[in-house]
Each structure stands twice: as structure tokens, then as C-alpha cells.
Copies of this chain bind each other. A is one copy, B any other.
Amino acid sequence: MAEKRPFDILNNALNSNVLVKLKGDVEVRGVLASFDVHMNLVIENGEEIKNGEIKRKLGTVLLRGDTVVFVSPATIT
């Protein structure tokens, strides 16, 4: 069995829904379109979430890696 690495789950989550928690209690939900080694993420059909409610629709959005707290794919197959 190949060794697993953290970024594998980003690779597996491409084109799927993810929930991203950012520093400062902001969350963005949408489809992961791309990422790089700095954990910069592009989310499509993104929605900004605050206190569990949709604050606004962002469409495509580039999230800066160093503001990311966690990334949770909706499902991994």
C-alpha cells in the first residue's frame, strides 16, 4: 500500500464539494477547482458562511493558503 500524504485528500477532492474554514471565523463552501503547494485553493460556486448561515454567494474565489484552518471534503471516494 502506498504511503498516504495530507495533500492527497485535496487531489481526491478536485471537482467535489468542500468546506473550508478560514482564520477569523469565515467559512467558504463550494467545488474545489485547483490548489497548489501553499494550500492556495480555488473554489467554484463558492458561498461565504458566517455562523452557519450563507452570507453571500462568491462564485469563483481564490482562497489564500495561509488563511486556511481546515479543508473538509464532503465525501472522499
Nearest residue in B to A23 (C-beta to C-beta)? B24
Please state the number of chain copies in the assembly: 7
Say yes or no: A62-B71 contact (C-beta < 8 A), given A8-B34, A9-B42, A34-B8. yes
Chain B nearest CB, measured from A50 CB (Å): 11
Q: Point out the residues of chain B lying under 8 angstroms from A70, CB to CB.
A: 22, 28, 58, 61-64, 67
Is A6's CB under 8 angstroms from B72's CB? no
A8-B34, A22-B70 given; name 16 further pairs at CB < 8 Å. Answer: A6-B35, A6-B36, A6-B42, A7-B62, A21-B26, A23-B23, A23-B24, A24-B25, A46-B72, A59-B73, A59-B75, A61-B72, A62-B70, A63-B69, A67-B69, A67-B70
